[in-house]
Amino acid sequence: MGDVSKVLDPALEPIAAKVYAGERLSFDEGLALYRTRDLNTLMRLADHVRRQKHGDRTYFVHSLRFSQTNICYVGCPFCAFAKRFGEEGAWDWSVEESVAWVRERYEPGLTEIHIASGHHPKKPFGYYLELVAALKANFPGVQVKAWTAAEIHHFSKIAKADYRTVLSELVAAGLDAMPGGGAEIFAERVRRQIARNKVNAEGWLEVHRTAHALGLPTNATMLYGHIETLEERLDHMDRLRRLQDETGGFMSFIPLAFQPLGNSLAQNLGKTEFTTGLDDLKNLAIARVYLDNFPHIKGYWATLTVPLAQVSLDWGVSDIDGTLIAESIVNAAGATSGRAMTKEELARIVRRAGRLPVERDAVYNVVRVYDAVA
């Protein structure tokens, strides 16, 4: 039980009492967390919730990032990854070329191939089924976590089939889990400006609802630090919390800091600075306290930076993602954290933050519990 007497902001006293009692916060109480300057209390509350769920364990995954194409017609202004046909730097691989690319980067012990790519205007749905099946056949034992809800929505259009049919066929081909991208911010005001041509909020949520009904676990993200308000951030989390109450199929929530380089949204906003460490940590902590039904809050080191990801373990984070072999999407948008780390480097970072490193697979089965001391 935490000590409510240490709370400096009177507005947080009833909130702290509820958190220590294991009670859910209201929307207004979530906003009070965003508005408080009592950061020590916020950190303690988030750390309390994390510790209640996971003790000293911090998770990561040995993961290869793969994109079979970067060709995309959607044109999101925050993206620095997408290309058009014929544009310099564009790629568009066949199934055979994709398998060869993965084979070249495959490492023993790899447990996850994480696929995110563009909305390709010409590839038929059958291509994606063949790709999953080929990856599973060529790399047995490796799980395929692939395609955001936005991409599943795109597949449903090209296949002229509903979400259930599309997802059922992908699962039958070997799909093990889904990443959480494409969520951005659910508020319509923001979505009209930064994701006009992408699946809307209701569609994104319905894809995940359908996946969970089929037994396919998923993650959820939130892209913050651009034009959204604090109320819109919390609204985003609130919609996720309600769906998780309904389905229980989310594994983790991943706040993604907007990267202000190489994209038109940053240029139009005149934005050249990254989100502050304080904003990043507050966001993670509030997510940990507010999303009481999510198992994990992920501190994505590729956008946070490694030092801040390490600090975030005291702010509610129980997962720092993974080795990220060949990560390219956030690096294209200006992330400065590098493209990959080894499992040993991740374990060392976790240990030095006073936590116990746990290697997991794509669906949070434990692969290895590392020694507590290096």
Helices (H), the chain: 13-20, 27-35, 39-54, 95-105, 125-138, 149-159, 163-173, 188-194, 201-213, 230-247, 264-269, 277-290, 301-304, 306-312, 329-332, 343-352
Residue 293 contacts residue 50 (beta carbons within 8 Å): no
> Could you tell me which of 101, 149, 155, 153 has the C-alpha nearest to residue 129?
155
Contacts 24+ apart (CB under 8 A), 262-271: 262/80, 262/332, 262/333, 262/334, 263/77, 263/78, 263/79, 263/80, 263/333, 264/77, 265/77, 265/78, 265/194, 265/226, 266/78, 268/77, 269/226, 269/227, 271/226
- Tell me: is residue 78 an annotated ligand-binding position: yes
What angle, 0 to 180 degrees and rounded to 10, lies between the N-to-C axes of helices 125-138 and 163-173? Answer: 30
* 60 labeled binding residue: no
Residue ranges of alpha helices (H) inside 305-342 are 306-312, 329-332
State yes or no: 29 annotated in a binding site.
no
User: Among candidates 297, 284, 282, which has minimal Cα distance to 252?
Assistant: 297
Residues of the binding site for S-adenosyl-L-methionine: 78, 184
Residues of the binding site: 72, 76, 78-79, 184
Residues of the binding site for [4Fe-4S] cluster: 72, 76, 79
